[in-house]
Structure 1
Amino acid sequence: MPTECIPYKETNYFTKLITDYLEEKEELKDFYNRFPKLENFKEQLVEKSSFPKENRKVLVKALKQQYAGLETSKATLQHIESLEEEASFTVVTGHQLNLFTGPLYFLYKIVSTINLTRKLKEAYPDYNFVPVYWMATEDHDFEEINFFNLNGKKFQWANAPKNAGEDAVGNLTTEGLEDVFKLFSAEIGGGKNADFLRELFEKAYLQHDNLAEATLYLANQLFKEEGLVIIDAQQKELKELFIPYAENELLAQDSYKTTTKTAEKLNELGYNVQVNPREINLFYLNQGLRERIIARDDAYFVHGTEIQWTKTEILEELKNFPERFSPNVMLRPLYQEVILPNLCYIGGGGELAYWLELKEYFKSEKVVFPVLLLRNSALIQSGKLDEKRRKLNVSSKELFLKQHELINRKVRQISNIEIDFSPQKEHLVAQFQEMYDLAEKTDKSFLGAVKAQEVKQLKGLDNLEKRLLKAQKRKLKDEVSRIAELQNELFPNKSLQERQTNFSEIYAAYGPDLISVLLKELDPLQAEFKILTFENK
């Protein structure tokens, strides 16, 4: 399998916060405990060994209930059983319940998680490491999850349930997905791989009642042989473990106080803050409703409704119905670490950005802060496309340039005319420096006129250079077109492939080899972007 690696910083698709984190910049070290290196997990294991035995029992019981009736692998069942043991720990990734997994990086997240558990087992053989996929069943942003892209076409869940966008997405019924299935079936084509994908979609979405069950089935089918454990944390027994922290959120609002200060520090360092906390970071989830809780004048309200409580009443509601209290994006990480014996969270750049806001909040709640690891990123291409790239004399690194930059660079390279006026511009600047010196010695009032003339002539050279480039592009129209076509195929919508393309597009071509190659080639501790080239089929 031919592979190439590119530093994340050189792809120009990752924020300064993330590239600085990967470089372990000194100014960011206050925002996390340990950097993701194998040797650093030794201390993490010691610190997380304080995880309560009772929480383990509740967790295993809840997982067994969720897996009841689901056909899965021996490896997954053993992993679930092992979580009751004090020497067992998890590595977690989380993802929304995107239709048919959504973008390709869903696979990369889970593969990164599985591969890290394997590396940890090699380094620390006396412990067990369980890969966990946390289903974001309590999200309610339906517009983010109701589609996937295949062969440049958008397949959207148009006939959605009436409460879509209001209720937690995990609760949504799968009604209306028959139409998507018909369109998908027609698009995916024929052959063994296409038949597998059709059956996978049909069994997941047309034979399960809600989106949580459908996603559990789908992820289990793809990764059960690797021992992946999938969790839906909406269960009452799990929420009961979170009651003390939810109560503190309602009464003290420590998450708001601590993360606001952290966000200010990140801003001062020049980093964009990913998420701004609310005073109360809990939603009320009940009977098709998921709305935020607001505190005002010693009372509590559910936004947009007439539901309200006194302080005593809301604490009683929390005690009796903890499953009705749903953490938002700022509180979900704490909930995760309360119910799982977790060592590491694996996520994308945006996720790590908001996790970096939370260290002080975890400290105030006396919960161990996990190691934060950026998931693997990759570009998958066929041997045919790689051959086309070589013939066009485009390097893999150049593919990551903005298209106009790439085309301008290649036009200059393949043109028999030198279209780079940098030497002329430098010569012009030097000439004008002499005029500045002359004006300075004679009449300083002429400095402005000299400057205006310099700007005018430099601008003229810029315009002439652009016109010549444009003319040369017309002359080299075929080469320009083929370069643009290549880049558009590898970067759909001028974005990273992994953020646009659904896995089914690649699975249809390569079948199970897709996942086996990812498991072999993606090293979660190698902080570089990978280009994977599949042989032509």
Structure 2
Amino acid sequence: MKVTHIPFQKTGFFSKMMLDYLEKNEKLTPFYNHFPDLDGFHHQILEKEKSFDLQTRTILYNELKNQYKTVEVSEKTAENIELLQSQNTFTITTGHQLNLFTGPLYFLYKIISTINLCEELSEKFPDKNFVSIYWMATEDHDFDEINYFNFNGKKVLWNRKDGGAVGRFSTDGLEEVLNVFSAHLGNSKNALYLKNLFYEAYLNHNNLADATRFIANSLFGQYGLVIIDGDSKDLKKVFSPFVKNELLHQTSSIEVSKTIAQLEREYKIQVNPREINLFYLQKDSRERIVFENGIYKVLNTEIEFSKEAILQELENHPEKFSPNVLLRPLYQEVILPNLCYIGGGGEIAYWLQLKGFFDAIAVPFPILLLRNSVQVISSKQVKKLENLSISMEEIFLNQHELISKKVNENSDIQIQFDEKKAFLQNQFSELKQVAKQTDISFVNAVNAQERKQIKGLENLEKRLLKAEKRRHEDLVQRITILQNELFPNQSLEERQRNFSEYYLEYGGDFIEMLKESLKPLQHEFTVLEF
């Protein structure tokens, strides 16, 4: 195995906001608390230590013990749950939707980044304990985003009726999915493990939350991962003062809107707030709460509350109030002794919209860490890259740009007209000096002619490149096939493939190699060759 680290900036797959964040651009400093480095964690520990009380720890501990009652708990996970009772224990958290059979590959990268960061912090701060947390998005209701996974370019799909929080969904019907999946796997030792993992998760558990917990625990329990389901009455009771604030004062909407007004001058906005960022949760529905004409209404239902009635409902049934994407981060930070959230670029982008809101309600804002990203390359593919003289950084080039570059390098003629364009521009520069001594109409004519001539050269350059591509058809085809193998649909494979493809080939060694290779605080893209 060989590991190569490449700056995120050189991959072309990350937003301007994420690159500015990693470079500590001053435009973004008002929107986060501490940067994800060891000095930042030192300060974050001091802040969280002062704000997180023992009573909340006790409620969290008791809830986790209850959620793990029917789970086969590893010694390391059991130890971590016990440690959460101590004031010197902190969490590092990642979250993810309940995608069918973990969904895209980056599910693994999120969790391993979290586990590895805890281990690194334990070495740097030996008087503290650090527990890795996977927050299951059990109250999400975007079923179309989670009801499938890709295997060898084919979509394995779960068809069922949508409605309500996905964590409560029955696993009925997933036996058919297993049959389809099994047909693609074969009967190797690793294939049998994957089939059994799917069977045990979805056919021996009644709902999607329990099934997902089983899979995550099976894959990562040995490393001490603690899995939490926020769909809990006791945990939401802790959160209820913030729900009350949201219902009465809409602080999140006010503060996030202020932040958006600043951020949108430079960056794309990820999430826009509602007036009230809460859902009302029932057995088979999760609908928005709105405030109209002095009445709280639950959309698409007949349910209505006066101010007094909804506060009484919150007191009696806090479990029925579900935070949306903007309030879920707050819920997490209120009930966990958390230092850092690890997520993808899109997640970190919407977290950056929340700093002002957290400040307004006096809750410490966590450190935000862009998760590790990985490109897996086999030894056979490495050999092909070497034969094509393509470097590890070059594989991330846009396909047209990569092909053009390699055709130019392998051509026996000069394809690029940069020197010719520079010469032409110099000639026109001299002509412009003469033109300035006449009148503006002549200057405009010279400028127009320059644009025409440069455009003509660019068109000739494109035609020559096209001709050379035809002449080097074999080279173009080899590059295209290889890059398409590495980047399905011209996207990072971590967004397109499921872990089962690599587990089928490498078994548990795949997870071990990832764990050995991922360095969360290095802030670089990982290329893994094996």
Q: TM-score, normalised by structure 1?
A: 0.96
Deviation at 1:122, TM superposition (A): 0.7
Matched, 1:128 2:143: no
> Residue deviations 1:217-243, cap 9 Å, x none?
000000010010000010111111011
Deviation at 1:371, TM superposition (A): 1.2
Alignment counterpart, residue 177 of structure 1, candidates 162, 166, 174: 174
Structural mapping, 1:331-350, within 5 Å: 331-350=327-346
Matched, 1:360 2:356: yes
Matched, 1:67 2:68: yes
Deviation at 1:183, TM superposition (A): 1.5
Distance 2:419 2:357 in 1: 56
Distance 2:357 2:463 in 1: 57
Distance 1:86 1:170 in 2: 31
Deviation at 1:443, TM superposition (A): 5.0
Bigger mean CA offset, 223-232 vs 428-437: 428-437
Match of 2:85 in 1: 84
**2:409 partner SS:** helix
Distance 2:516 2:84 in 1: 26
Counterpart of 1:173, as a letter, is S
Structural mapping, 1:450-461, within 5 Å: 450-461=446-457
Match of 1:430 in 2: 426
Distance 1:516 1:37 in 2: 25
Counterpart of 1:131, as a letter, is S
Counterpart of 2:177, as a letter, is V
> Residue deviations 1:180-225, cap 9 Å, x none?
2112111122311111111111111122111101100000000010
Distance 2:468 2:113 in 1: 45
Deviation at 1:74, TM superposition (A): 1.0
Match of 2:23 in 1: 23
Alignment counterpart, residue 259 of structure 1, candidates 256, 261, 268: 256
**1:3 partner SS:** strand
| Runs of 5+ unmatched residues, structure 2 | none
Q: State the aligned residue count.
A: 529
Deviation at 1:307, TM superposition (A): 1.2
Match of 1:148 in 2: 149
Distance 2:416 2:359 in 1: 56
Distance 2:211 2:281 in 1: 21
Deviation at 1:444, TM superposition (A): 4.0
Match of 2:368 in 1: 372
Match of 1:384 in 2: 380
Say if 1:439 and 1:343 are closer, same or farther in 2 by CA, change over 3 A: closer
Alignment counterpart, residue 403 of structure 1, candidates 396, 399, 413: 399
Match of 1:521 in 2: 517
> Residue deviations 1:34-70, cap 9 Å, x none?
1111232222222212311111111111111111111
Match of 1:99 in 2: 100
Bigger mean CA offset, 504-513 vs 181-190: 181-190
Distance 1:448 1:37 in 2: 55
Match of 2:304 in 1: 308
Match of 2:287 in 1: 291
Counterpart of 1:102, as a letter, is G
Matched, 1:52 2:53: yes
Distance 1:41 1:442 in 2: 66
Distance 1:274 1:334 in 2: 17
Alignment counterpart, residue 511 of structure 1, candidates 507, 510, 519: 507
Deviation at 1:146, TM superposition (A): 0.9
Distance 2:37 2:429 in 1: 53
Matched, 1:462 2:458: yes
> Residue deviations 1:315-365, cap 9 Å, x none?
111111111100001000110011111111111111111111111211222
> Residue deviations 1:118-137, cap 9 Å, x none?
11111111221110000000
**1:532 partner SS:** strand
Deviation at 1:505, TM superposition (A): 0.6
Matched, 1:330 2:338: no
> Residue deviations 1:221-268, cap 9 Å, x none?
000100100000101111110111000000011111111111111123
Counterpart of 2:502, as a letter, is I
> Residue deviations 1:249-305, cap 9 Å, x none?
00011111111111111123x011211111100001112110110011111011122
**1:242 partner SS:** helix
Aligned residues with identical type, % of pairs: 56
Distance 2:359 2:434 in 1: 65
Bigger mean CA offset, 516-525 vs 455-464: 455-464
Match of 1:478 in 2: 474
Structural mapping, 1:155-166, within 5 Å: 155-157=156-158, 159-160=159-160, 162=161, 164=162, 166=163
Q: TM-score, normalised by structure 2?
A: 0.98
Match of 2:8 in 1: 8
> Residue deviations 1:128-159, cap 9 Å, x none?
111000000000001111111111111111x2
Alignment counterpart, residue 221 of structure 1, candidates 208, 218, 221: 218
**1:35 partner SS:** coil
Distance 1:455 1:42 in 2: 57
CA RMSD of superposed structures (Å): 1.2
Bigger mean CA offset, 442-451 vs 281-290: 442-451
Bigger mean CA offset, 215-224 vs 304-313: 304-313
Distance 1:56 1:435 in 2: 77
**1:372 partner SS:** strand
> Residue deviations 1:374-408, cap 9 Å, x none?
11111011111011111110111111111001101
Counterpart of 1:24, as a letter, is K
Deviation at 1:526, TM superposition (A): 0.4
Bigger mean CA offset, 235-244 vs 354-363: 354-363
Counterpart of 1:44, as a letter, is Q
Deviation at 1:429, TM superposition (A): 1.8
> Residue deviations 1:1-27, cap 9 Å, x none?
211111111111111111111111222
Distance 1:214 1:245 in 2: 30
> Residue deviations 1:479-501, cap 9 Å, x none?
11010111101111100111111
Counterpart of 2:491, as a letter, is S
Match of 1:241 in 2: 238
Say if 1:398 and 1:298 are closer, same or farther in 2 by CA, change over 3 A: same
**1:155 partner SS:** strand
**2:274 partner SS:** coil
**2:272 partner SS:** coil
**1:441 partner SS:** coil
Counterpart of 1:216, as a letter, is R
Distance 1:385 1:266 in 2: 41
Counterpart of 1:11, as a letter, is T
**1:368 partner SS:** coil
Distance 2:359 2:439 in 1: 66
Distance 1:21 1:83 in 2: 31
